[in-house]
Amino acid sequence: MVKPFRTIGDHGIIGDLETAALIARDGTIDYLCWPALDSPTIFADLLDTDRGGAFTIEPELDQPRHLQLYVPGTNVLITRWMAKDGSAEVVDLMPQPEARLRSGHGARSLIRRLTATSGTVTFTVRCTPRFDYAREVPEVTAVDGGVRFSGRDMSLCLFASTGLDQQAGAASGHFTLSKGESVWFVLGDHMMSRPEDSAILAQIEATTQEWRTWQSQSTYKGRWREQVLRSALTLKLLTSARHGSIAAAATFSLPEAEGSERNWDYRATWIRDASFTVYAFMRLGFIDEAEHFNQWVGQRVVASDRKCPLRIMYSLDGSVTADERKLTHLIGYADSQPVRIGNAAHTQTQLDIFGELLDSVYLSNKYGSAISHDGWRHVRGIVDYVLEHWHEPDAGIWEMRSEPRHFLHSRVMCWVAIDRAIRLANKRSLPAPLVAWAEARDEIVDDVWNNFRHPEYGYFVRERGGTELDAALLMMPLVRFVSSTDPVWLKTLDAIGEQLCDDGLVYRYRGADSLDGDEGAFTTCTFWYAECLARAGRLDDARMIMAKGVVYANHLGLFAEEVDIRGLPLGNFPQALSHLAFISAAYFLDRRLDPAYQPNWQP
């Protein structure tokens, strides 16, 4: 039998704030790292349908229609099969820590509850985990009520309310359900024992309630409420309840261009992306996540043994990100090779991260707890570093794997770092050399206006002395470096629209970047562009770009990193930066389109 090709966008996501699984429209779990989001995979069928491993459910229905939806206000996913001869659905979830406490069941697990909703349906369920990025086929042994999958460094148990058969490296079940009948499957730690039926129902109820309790904290009441809350729930899945870190995406090596080498591992905490995520959480009323992340960042500064106070990225537990490696045994999504884990960019210098971080620190202090004495000392250390290095070249926001250059976005974010520290010092009456800081801030302003303009047309350009554009320039008015209606900025906005936009698709840049293949349009940039249009007073254009951007989400409202020329998802999925840029644009457009709308949070 030919295995189906499942596209990046054909998936929903579930998780327990420690790891996350992708579930395809046909009910297959084809991606899951265990026990943490940045651990090796146990299912990686998405990256190699022959050897990756998967957890499949196959109902014997004639040409069923596949549907997916979330239980409203939660990350509990329902996948449905609907046909003339019958229908069925599976509820998939991973109980989060509070839900495990609430239900009285502490073991981490993935729960699948399968129900026939009409007719009589026969099913085949098959679980084929492949440990260590599909480099190990586990041994399968029977245990009371299920099977154990055993490997060199890991063991998992699969329990079910129906019988399971053992095969080499797999377990399967074949059974028939009539309307209203259900079976369940639970995959978890090898120390877990078989749960009772009542325990399964208790964990489903507790997980549903905990997600609803969390999302009820949101203060957002605007016109994109359902989509914004889905984005918030997705961002929450990328946060670590244990550490406070925030992953850039749930996956690794999903290609930015099919068949090319643009395949990166995003299962790490980028200081930039996580700081942006903090903005999004605070806009929506989720303050605890911001404070937890700031504590995690503070620990990284304290632990730094380098001249630079921060690395650009960390593993979720705060350790140094793993070096980049190629998994040559995996064919890759849509034959896109190499399949990479780890990220070589962790050794780069990206000066912009200090601006994003100190902006989030400033806003956290404005809407959360006041900064501590030690916290302020760390901020001063970051500013000292920026004062010393802001004029130097770096790899930039897009992590160019070429010689460092003088990027405008990096300059602007160095300005943000100093500016927000000055604002925070004034707001909290904190000790600081404010005159020296202000002089350095103004020096950056002069440098940008004098050295980062097109020699003929006068608009801002990507790098010092250059002529090319970069969608990262869209951040300039968003961080208040330049007025949204400044004539030079408006010329820049027009140039971006003419050169980087294609019918609502916005590309990061044009031209060669030393990598093979042409990448897709960048989802984040579409929403940055919409927000900049709105800030410039071009509301009709902003609404149209926003409308087009929203439909680039998949059937569940999840955004990938990029989209191809047809508007189909590319890159790692779901990506935090895409969701938080959408939240920011929705938040601002609400304010502009409805003068009576008064959000509780002001940037």
Residue 83 lies in a domain: yes
Instruction: Report yes or no: 552 and 523 within 8 Å, Cβ to Cβ.
Output: yes
Number of H helices, E strands in the chain: 15, 24
Three-state secondary structure of 449-503:
HHHCECCCCCCECCECCCCCCCHHHHHHHHCCCCCCCCHHHHHHHHHHHHHCEEC
Instruction: Report yes or no: 475 and 528 within 8 Å, Cβ to Cβ.
Output: yes
Each residue's pLDDT tens digit, 360-373: 999 888 888 889 99
Give yes or no: residues 23 and 144 share one domain: yes
* Structure-model confidence comparison of residues 527 and 504, the more confident one: 527
Residue 427 lies in a domain: yes
pLDDT of 221 above 70: yes
Residue 402: pLDDT band by 50, 70, 90 thresholds?
A: confident
Residue 168 lies in a domain: yes
Give yes or no: residues 557 and 469 share one domain: yes
Residue 148 lies in a domain: yes
Instruction: Report yes or no: 21 and 110 within 8 Å, Cβ to Cβ.
Output: yes
Measured distance CA(161)–CA(518) in Å, rounded:
49
Instruction: Report yes or no: 257 and 520 within 8 Å, Cβ to Cβ.
Output: yes
Among the candidates 197, 214, 231, a domain finishes at: 214
Give yes or no: residues 256 and 142 share one domain: no
Give yes or no: residues 124 and 262 share one domain: no
pLDDT of 596 above 90: no
Provide, rounded to the nearest whole percent, the portion of the chain with pLDDT above 90. 87
Give yes or no: residues 110 and 249 share one domain: no
pLDDT of 2 above 90: no
Give yes or no: residues 176 and 193 share one domain: yes
Q: Which residues of 164-177 are buried (b: 16+ CB within 10 A; e: fewer)?
A: beeeebbbbbebeb
| Residue 380: half-sphere exposure toward Cβ, Cα within 13 Å | 14
Residue 435: pLDDT band by 50, 70, 90 thresholds?
A: very high
Start-to-end CA distance of the chain, whole Å, equals 55
| pLDDT score recorded for residue 3 | 63
pLDDT of 1 above 50: no
Residue 503: pLDDT band by 50, 70, 90 thresholds?
A: confident
Give yes or no: residues 196 and 252 share one domain: no
Residue 56 lies in a domain: yes
Which CATH number characterizes residue 46's domain? 2.70.98.10
Give yes or no: residues 115 and 229 share one domain: no
The range of the structural domain enclosing residue 85 comes to 11-214
Reference 398, options 346, 472, 448; nearest CA is: 472
| pLDDT score recorded for residue 602 | 55
pTM: 0.95
Residues 26-51 have a mean pLDDT of 97
Peptide bond preceding 4 in cis form (omega within 30 of 0): no
| pLDDT score recorded for residue 264 | 96
What total number of domains does the chain contain?
Answer: 2
* Structure-model confidence comparison of residues 4 and 190, the more confident one: 190
Among the candidates 214, 232, 258, a domain finishes at: 214
Mean pLDDT of the chain: 94
Instruction: Report yes or no: 251 and 573 within 8 Å, Cβ to Cβ.
Output: yes
pLDDT of 597 above 80: no
Give yes or no: residues 160 and 239 share one domain: no
Which CATH number characterizes residue 422's domain? 1.50.10.10
Q: Name the DSSP letter for residue 345.
A: G
Give yes or no: residues 388 and 464 share one domain: yes
| pLDDT score recorded for residue 592 | 84
Give yes or no: residues 206 and 223 share one domain: no
Please name every residue paired with 125 in a beta bridge, in sequence order, or none if there are none. Answer: 57, 173
Residues 474-488 have a mean pLDDT of 97
Phi, psi (rounded to 5 degrees) for 50: -90, -35
Please name every residue paired with 556 in a beta bridge, in sequence order, or none if there are none. Answer: none
Instruction: Report yes or no: 351 and 413 within 8 Å, Cβ to Cβ.
Output: yes
Each residue's pLDDT tens digit, 123-146: 999 999 999 999 999 999 999 999
pLDDT of 56 above 80: yes
Residue 603 lies in a domain: no
Residue 599 lies in a domain: no
| pLDDT score recorded for residue 591 | 86
| pLDDT score recorded for residue 603 | 55
Give yes or no: residues 161 and 252 share one domain: no
Among the candidates 159, 194, 214, a domain finishes at: 214
| pLDDT score recorded for residue 401 | 87
Each residue's pLDDT tens digit, 241-296: 999 999 999 999 999 989 888 899 999 999 999 999 998 999 999 999 988 998 99
Residue 138 lies in a domain: yes
Each residue's pLDDT tens digit, 91-128: 999 999 999 998 888 789 999 999 999 999 999 999 99
